[in-house]
Amino acid sequence: MTVLIQKDRIWLQGNCGADDVELLMGGMRLDGSAMVDLSEADHLHAAILQVLLAFRPSITGTPRDSFIRTWLIPVLVAERTSRQQKTS
């Protein structure tokens, strides 16, 4: 299973494909403050990225995949920070 939901944390593991979107969205809807751990993520389908961009969860973990680490994490973190500053 590539999406694991436990209490206030959601883990994305391995190759997260489009078929994982519904489960991820369900987890995000249950707990909008859930932290998403990407430490075991190898690949994120564009649909998974869109969910993360829409919900803007707190991100934790250092992904194994260099593309996620170098390009996606900064975007997710920057957008979350920007939204927080606008609401302050």
Q: Which domain CATH number covers 83?
A: 3.30.750
Picking from 15, 6, 21, 11, the residue whose alpha carbon sits closest to that of residue 53 is 21
Whether residue 85 contacts residue 69, with contact meaning beta carbons closer than 8 Å, is answered with no
CA distances from 87 to 54, 68, 81 (A): 16, 27, 10
- The whole-number pLDDT of residue 61 equals 93
Token readout for 54 is 């829409």
- Dmax (CA) for the chain in angstroms is 38
- Can you name the residues that pair with 33 across neighbouring β-strands? none
- In which domain, by residue range, is 21 found? 3-87
Mean pLDDT by 10 residues, the chain (88 residues): 90 96 94 90 95 93 92 84 65
Q: How many domains does the chain have?
A: 1
